[in-house]
Amino acid sequence: MEKSCIGKDLAIANLVKLLRIQKHDYLNQLQVIQGMLQLNKADRALGYIKEVTREIQRTGTVMRLADPVLVALLLSYVRQAMEKEIKTTVMAETDMRQPGIPSDALYQLVEVTWNSFIRMLAEGTESKSLSLSIKEDDKNYVFDYCLSFSGLSLAMVKEGIDPVKSLVSSTGCDFSVEIKGESCRITVELPRKPG
């Protein structure tokens, strides 16, 4: 129990750090746009604005989630992955208002999953990406992770997945993994509360 409180505190601290970084990024983006406009490069400025808008929209779907600690955790891990040059995308197509496992178990699952995947992908030499899609069906919330990597052995990939598989099994959630070449798809199904 105490461990997850530490995780929550860390998530909040990371969220504050992330907000500071994002503020700095937004100011930089505005300066880039201003520079393009001053150089009469309106077409380039428009293209850049569209690119920045797409990025903000991608990140914004995480805000759809109802649990603020879960949002903070995911955003902080996205930032950590990006700092390790791992291309990262998270798409939330649900608000996850009714998870069928305790919040602490959900937070621990997110922490272990992201820490394992970031650690594993950081060992890769070239193109590394991690995408997460969060959806719901009639009975479950589905966390669908897609990882792409190069320079990792199959043993390294399995070593990165094992802690997640072990934890998922202990929570009573469903887990599946499919490894093909230099990509891997991991699906975790968390039960929803009925209703």
What pLDDT, on a 0 to 100 scale, did the predictor assign at position 151? Answer: 78
Mean pLDDT over residues 165-193, rounded?
A: 89
- Give residue 37's domain range: 2-191
Count of domains for the chain:
1
Closest CA to 168 of 152, 135, 190: 190
For the question of whether the overall pTM of this predicted structure is more than 0.75, the answer is yes
Closest CA to 131 of 142, 146, 121: 146
Q: Give the pLDDT confidence of 92-151 residue by residue, as tens digits.
A: 999 999 999 999 899 999 999 999 999 888 887 678 899 999 999 989 999 999 998 887
Would you say 191 and 175 are in contact if contact means Cβ atoms under 8 Å apart?
Answer: no
Task: Find the range with the poorest average confidence among 18-22, 79-83, 180-184.
Answer: 18-22
Is the pLDDT reported for residue 71 higher than 50? Answer: yes
What pLDDT, on a 0 to 100 scale, did the predictor assign at position 11? Answer: 64
Please report, to the nearest 10 degrees, the dihedral formed by the alpha carbons of residues 104, 108, 110, 111 taken in order. 130
Task: Specify the length of the chain in residues.
Answer: 195
Would you say 113 and 164 are in contact if contact means Cβ atoms under 8 Å apart?
Answer: yes
The CB density around residue 99, as the number of other CB atoms within 10 Å, is: 18
6 falls in which pLDDT band (50, 70, 90)?
low
pLDDT, the chain, mean: 86
Q: What is the CATH number of the domain that holds 47?
A: 3.30.565.10
Task: Find the range with the poorest average confidence among 6-15, 156-165, 175-184.
Answer: 6-15
